Structure 1
């Protein structure tokens, strides 16, 4: 159960309702974390702008971005965000077997070497303390430009905030992303 009660849409101003509607259109459901964040509309606006800039058009495949978010969230232990990222990966057309294999990405033939490099940095950077090393970036540079690396780290960093937000608040998971999550014990976040 959430430690802070999510607002319902009838309790928010029109601009905040529009932002929550944007999240619903992007994700296919109303996210509870947005309804909690709606208690601070400026924070919700800043988060929406950040999400839109990171998940908007870029040089990194949108499905890979979702796998990066899932990997970073799994490494951080955030059930809520891992489920959301897995759901987003499915929406982007990522093979469900690939989503399920994120924990075993290094040994799975479902992933390209480039995907392995990106998921590796997500797993290492998602941990506390951060385990990313120069050698991990050398590996990334074999497949990604510096602009793409910044895009990858942007996804990881976005989930760093969201992982901390949702695991601290115990945000209740919605049914749609719960159905997308595999490989993670449902322990409550």
Structure 2
């Protein structure tokens, strides 16, 4: 049960309600957004950025979901794994494959580029202050600088979401299958 109340679209100022409507096209994140709605600037800026990045699609959904599920597995965030593992399945990595992303080196469902994304998501999450230039040489072989910036930002932001979600303990939305990330 959520440690703070979950607001609805109607609780937002009228000028932010269209953003709520756009947010729902991103996925079933109403509880997360409803908690953010306690602070309209947080709701506005986070969801505007996420919707804009999604609309621009500089980074493929597959790479994005690989990074988000990896971070969420590392941080044991059941909320995020439950929401993003099915999105990764749409991108061609089975839910069983998503469960074992952290064992990426010999993962049969991942391409070499996929493995690089997972490796980088692990570095951003666990080794940000010890990551060497070598990984950036490899990243630049496959990604533009804009893609590297977005991949880095979205990975780091997902870590923040993991903490936000877990500390406030809001429920996973009805209809989303719970996938335990704590194993």
The corresponding residue for 2:7 is 7
Number of residue equivalences: 182
Contact 1:87 1:176 in 2 (8 A): no
The corresponding residue for 2:18 is 18
The corresponding residue for 2:56 is 57
The verdict on how the C-alpha distance between 1:61 and 1:36 changes in structure 2, with shifts beyond 3 A counting, is: same
Contact 1:16 1:38 in 2 (8 A): no
The corresponding residue for 1:148 is 147
Paired residue secondary structure (1:178): coil
Alignment of 1:1-189 (within 5 A): 1-27=1-27, 29-90=28-89, 92-96=90-94, 97-127=96-126, 132-179=131-178, 181=179, 184-185=181-182
1:127-167 C-alpha deviation (Å, 9 max, x unpaired):
37755333332332332222221121122122132122112
The verdict on how the C-alpha distance between 1:137 and 1:76 changes in structure 2, with shifts beyond 3 A counting, is: farther
Contact 1:114 1:143 in 2 (8 A): yes
The verdict on how the C-alpha distance between 1:132 and 1:171 changes in structure 2, with shifts beyond 3 A counting, is: farther
Contact 1:21 1:30 in 2 (8 A): no
Q: C-alpha distance in 2, partners of 1:155/1:177?
A: 22
The CA RMSD over aligned residues, in Å, is 2.4
Q: C-alpha distance in 1, partners of 2:57/2:157?
A: 15
Q: Which runs of 5+ in 2 are unaligned?
A: none
Moved more, 32-41 or 53-62: 53-62
Q: TM-score, normalised by structure 2?
A: 0.84
